Amino acid sequence: MVKVSTDFDGGAVSIISAEQADNIQLEINKDNKSCTRQWFYFAIESTSDPLQRIRLVNADKVSFSGAWQDYQAFASYDNQHWFRIDTQYLDGELMLTLETTAEKVYYAYFVPYPLTRHSALLQQVAAMPAAQLEVLGQTAQGRDITLIRLGSAAAGAKKIWLIARQQPGETMAQWLAEGVISQLASHFAAQRGDSVPTSFYIVANMNPDGTALGNHRTNANGINLNRHWATPDPLLCPEVYWVKQAMLQYGVDAFIDIHGDETLPYNFMQAETQHPFADQLKLALAELDSHFQTEYDYSNVAVGCGAGSCGTSCGQQKATSFVQQQFGVASILLEASFKPLQSAEQSRHWDHEAAKQLGANLANTLLAICSEID
């Protein structure tokens, strides 16, 4: 017996055939209302053959054509502990192979960050004395858009904004955000007074509807949030509308928008326009965390679009350009990889735990240099 299931938060794949565990054929889904196609997350139960071989037969139709080169998928036996597995891209198909040690195995494009974990994180934060939660509004499907405020309440405090996961398939963005939040929380809990007059405004999950639906880049209405910062429609993309309102209300002194990049085997930052604080942040973070580097970014490595890419929403405003134009401050895109990292011609391990650690190191770096924000 072979059973393929996706009936959980963020689950997404379609079944072509699943008679034998060593010859399962699946298709990567499109987002619910968009032509984007990239994210997969499913479970397979098999009582017969311990060898599971899964072919994602439309892998050549995804939005990012370079995504499968040197890529390794994730698997888990308990939906908690995840590891990379043997993954081959051949003749337009992505083949995942695992000699299993349990009957049920979960597979995913990157380690999922489900809404249950998001809720648990918000509950933890709510209990912290140095933190405040503010529900800014609701998504189309009625989920809260929640802003976390951490740090100094002083009127003159510098305001550093971080948002993550505008594109819900980029789950590493929220692992990173969790690392930032945990580290800031313990810093501010241990601290007496406002020796660092800085306040952090964090939206750890910009797209909870897309998270639940198993979308890769869009919300429940098929909107790519990071193309709608100029005039966000409160009904079509309330996520952007409410977060933008909060930015205008509270002000922004520095901004980081956390994403995942499908193609590049590097973690990097790219500022909207050159800014001394952004330069300083990059160098200091690279010093502290060997999973982060400053050599490669979009300015020197080309990224190609795939057969399933859709340009309908291109050309409209991204979050980093809105912040740069509105506030004239350091406005930074942080991209983390889906792939094992490349460094000095070697492959390096990269997963959700390393993403959390990078987040913690980012928090420490920001705390160390925040007095330099002008």
Instruction: Indicate whether 167 belongs to the interface with Zn ion (CB under 5 A).
Output: yes
Residue 305, both tokens: 């679009």
Binding span for Zn ion by CB under 5 A among 151-159, 169-177, 269-277, 309-317: 169-177
CA 132 to chain centre: 23
Return the amino acid letter for 367: L
Cβ(21)–Cβ(99) under 8 Å?
no
Q: How far is the CB of 164 from Zn ion (least distance, A)?
A: 10
Shorter beta-carbon distance to Zn ion: residue 170 or 289: 170
Hey, which residues does 257 pair with through a beta bridge?
163, 333
Residue 345, both tokens: 């011609």
Compute CA distances 306 → 64, 259, 262, 299, 303, whole Å: 4, 19, 11, 20, 10
Binding span for Zn ion by CB under 5 A among 25-33, 113-121, 159-167, 339-347: 159-167
Active site residue 272: no
Q: How far is the CB of 166 from Zn ion (least distance, A)?
A: 6
Using a 10 angstrom Cβ sphere, with 0-12 exposed, 13-18 middle and 19 or more buried, the burial of residue 104 is middle
Hey, which residues does 333 pair with through a beta bridge?
257, 270
CA distance 94 to 26: 10
CA distance 374 to 267: 26
CA distance 64 to 310: 10
Size of the site for Zn ion (CB under 5 A): 3
Site for Zn ion in 27-86 (CB under 5 A): none
Instruction: Indicate whether 320 belongs to the interface with Zn ion (CB under 5 A).
Output: no
Q: How far is the CB of 244 from Zn ion (least distance, A)?
A: 17
Catalytic residue, chosen from 335, 345, 353, 372, is: 335
Give the largest CA-CA distance in the chain: 65
Shorter beta-carbon distance to Zn ion: residue 167 or 219: 167
CA distance 40 to 279: 35
Q: How far is the CB of 30 from Zn ion (least distance, A)?
A: 17
Shorter beta-carbon distance to Zn ion: residue 170 or 272: 170
Shorter beta-carbon distance to Zn ion: residue 244 or 259: 259
Q: What does the per-residue mask of binding to Zn ion show for 170-209, with x meaning CB under 5 A? A: x---------------------------------------
Shorter beta-carbon distance to Zn ion: residue 64 or 106: 64
Shorter beta-carbon distance to Zn ion: residue 31 or 170: 170
Q: What does the per-residue mask of binding to Zn ion show for 253-282, with x meaning CB under 5 A? A: ------x-----------------------
> Closest-CB residue for Zn ion?
259
> 86-90 and 144-151 as β-strands: parallel, antiparallel, unpaired?
unpaired
Q: How far is the CB of 173 from Zn ion (least distance, A)?
A: 7
- Report the interface residues with Zn ion, using CB under 5 A: 167, 170, 259
Q: Which residues are catalytic?
A: 335
